[in-house]
């Protein structure tokens, strides 16, 4: 029941920059609500990567950056590394659901 849309997959060579989009609506991202991003390595639990649009928790490399504009948000990974190969999910609050919504998820492949 994802209401945030992400591309199914993105890929890039080591060292390149990739971006992942997250498109919502006027009841979530397009409203006042912030966007957060999670990284899920194979076989593990999701981990908070970016919170409140552009903030990195302690320990997250500055290669990861986030932004929000209008009804969309983006996650950028610069200097792509093999260890970045994972699934990435955006998340926000939705006022029509009175709860959390997640994106459809994007698989990042390092070529």
Partner 1 sequence: QLQLQESGPGLVKPSETLSLTCTVSGGSISSTSYYWGWIRQPPGKGLEWVGSIYYSGTTYYNPSLKNRVTISVDTSKNQFSLRLSSVTAADTAAYYCARQSVGGTYWYFDLWGRGSLVTVSS
Nearest distance from C-beta of residue 66 to partner 1, angstroms: 12
Q: Which stretch binds partner 1 (CB under 8 A): 13-21, 46-54, 59-67, 77-85?
A: 46-54
Q: Which stretch binds partner 1 (CB under 8 A): 15-23, 59-67, 72-80, 85-93?
A: 85-93
Which pair of tokens denotes residue 26?
A: 């006027």
What's the start-to-end Cα distance of the chain, in Å? 31
Which of 9, 15, 16, 52 is the binder for partner 1 (CB under 8 A)? 52
Query: What's the Cα-to-Cα distance from 41 to each of 9, 46, 90, rounded to whole Å?
Result: 15, 7, 15
């Amino acid at each position: 029941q994802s209401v945030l849309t992400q591309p199914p997959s993105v890929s890039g060579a080591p060292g390149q920059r990739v971006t992942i989009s997250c498109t919502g609506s006027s009841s979530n991202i397009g409203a006042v609500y912030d966007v957060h991003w999670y990284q899920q390595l194979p076989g593990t639990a999701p981990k908070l990567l970016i919170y409140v649009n552009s903030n990195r928790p302690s320990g997250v490399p500055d290669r990861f950056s986030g932004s929000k504009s209008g009804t969309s948000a983006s996650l950028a990974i610069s200097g792509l590394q093999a260890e970045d190969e994972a699934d990435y999910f955006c998340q926000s609050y939705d006022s029509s659901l009175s709860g959390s919504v997640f994106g459809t998820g994007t698989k990042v492949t390092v070529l």
